[in-house]
Copies of this chain bind each other. A is one copy, B any other.
Amino acid sequence: MSGLFTIALDAMGGDHGPQVVVPAALKALAEFSDIHLILVGDKERLSRELSASGGAPSNRLRIHHAAQVVGMDEPPSQALRNKKDSSMRVAVNLVKHQQADACVSAGNTGALMATARYVLKTLPGIDRPAIITAIPALNGHTHMLDLGANVDSTANHLYQFAVMGSELASAVDNLDAPRVGLLNIGEEDIKGNDQVKEAAHMLEHSHLNYVGFVEGNDIYCGDVDVVVCDGFVGNVALKTSEGVARMVSHYVRSQFSSGLYAKMAGLVAMPVLKALRRRIDPRAYNGASLLGLQGIVIKSHGGADAVAFLNAIRIARIEAEKKVPQRIDKRLEELLSREGSAP
């Protein structure tokens, strides 16, 4: 029998706040019988939203009041100093005080990262958390990190990302030895920069199932389970992918509406196009983990709708079930003790 997992939701965060988070919470309760949810935010507003959505507080859903909200553009330092009773901060506090096994927020990334680091602290051996998410690939999906928390990552940082990413993939996808690739370029005669070359050397001599260098297009092949890169590079890769996908779907739409024949073909093709859209629906991949913390923090896209936010809750649930931070902690302890006992 699986246990019971409590997940705290920053119900005021994101572009849409309770309007999205409350319906997503009700969907999650219906989907999973083994979770409890805590809606964190303005009590009155949340009660109203809850009854409007046909839900009600129960032994599986409660509201935890928080008077403040972190703005989507608020500088992290300001959020940290002035918003101690924000829905974001209180949700993270609930994880810290073990009243929740995980939290989910669609609030601003910088503030969430700063708050999570300050409240939960990083695991021993981790300098700074990394952001990881699953990306759809031809055969399944690929976990990629870091996606923007760390710029100018050293070889040692890249190595830490690899260890954490491998543990996460192993836990959530039930893989014995996830294939780990290091993102590099093939154009330059000397191939790659010093950090990547040094990290490759470290990974070759590690316990990981390191498969070598991969290039940008390999992210979408599904031939590796984890792709490791600097946060600047990873963030650009992710945003670029979103741009391409948006352009292509714009073209599909405009092509199927450019003339009478195209419109009729579009009607015939509609079920196929709908199935296609479901298959590459970015909402099915919403939810990035802040990895390397002493607790589970999931970042939802700020513009997420209820379907997308629900997916972020799913990720929080599975990471709680698989005790991802504890697994990473254990692995790091082994590695640190091995280093300590090295001749």
Question: At the interface, yes or no: A252 with Cβ under 8 Å from chain B?
Answer: yes
Could you tell me if B148 and A188 are in contact, using CB atoms closer than 8 angstroms?
A: yes
Given known A-B contacts A114-B189, A231-B185, A243-B216, A269 and B265 have beta carbons under 8 A apart: yes
Given known A-B contacts A194-B152, A272-B266, A236 and B216 have beta carbons under 8 A apart: yes
Q: How far is the CB of A151 from chain B (nearest CB, A)?
A: 4
Question: At the interface, yes or no: A220 with Cβ under 8 Å from chain B?
Answer: yes
Q: How far is the CB of A61 from chain B (nearest CB, A)?
A: 31
Specify which of B77, B131, B232, B241 is in contact with A192 (CB 8 Å cutoff): B232
Given known A-B contacts A232-B233, A276-B251, A187 and B131 have beta carbons under 8 A apart: yes
Contacts of A244 in B (CB 8 A): 220, 241, 244-245, 248
Give residues of chain A (81-138) contacting chain B, Cβ–Cβ below 8 Å: 109-111, 113-114, 131, 136-138
Could you tell me if A276 and B247 are in contact, using CB atoms closer than 8 angstroms?
A: no
Could you tell me if B248 and A245 are in contact, using CB atoms closer than 8 angstroms?
A: yes
Which of A48-56, A164-172, A255-263, A320-328 is the contact stretch?
Answer: A255-263
Question: At the interface, yes or no: A75 with Cβ under 8 Å from chain B?
Answer: yes
Question: At the interface, yes or no: A271 with Cβ under 8 Å from chain B?
Answer: yes
Contacts of A207 in B (CB 8 A): none
Copies in the complex: 2
Chain B residue nearest in CB terms to A263: B272
Specify which of B75, B216, B219, B251 is in contact with A238 (CB 8 Å cutoff): B216
Contacts of A264 in B (CB 8 A): 268
Could you tell me if B233 and A189 are in contact, using CB atoms closer than 8 angstroms?
A: no
| Distance, CA A271 to CA B192, complexed state (A) | 43
Question: At the interface, yes or no: A337 with Cβ under 8 Å from chain B?
Answer: no
Chain B residue nearest in CB terms to A245: B244
Contacts of A76 in B (CB 8 A): 189
Could you tell me if A137 and B187 are in contact, using CB atoms closer than 8 angstroms?
A: no
Question: At the interface, yes or no: A218 with Cβ under 8 Å from chain B?
Answer: yes
Q: Can you add 15 more A-B contacts, CB < 8 Å, to A148-B186, A219-B243?
A: A147-B187, A150-B188, A151-B188, A187-B235, A215-B239, A216-B237, A216-B239, A217-B243, A220-B246, A244-B248, A248-B280, A252-B252, A256-B272, A262-B272, A269-B272
Listed by A's residue number, 18 A-B pairs whose Cβ atoms lie within 8 Å are A110-B187, A148-B187, A183-B236, A185-B232, A188-B235, A193-B232, A216-B242, A220-B243, A237-B240, A241-B244, A252-B252, A255-B272, A255-B275, A262-B271, A262-B272, A265-B269, A266-B272, A268-B269
Which 7 A-B residue pairings sit nearest by Cβ, starting from the closest?
A216-B239, A148-B187, A217-B243, A110-B189, A216-B240, A220-B243, A185-B235
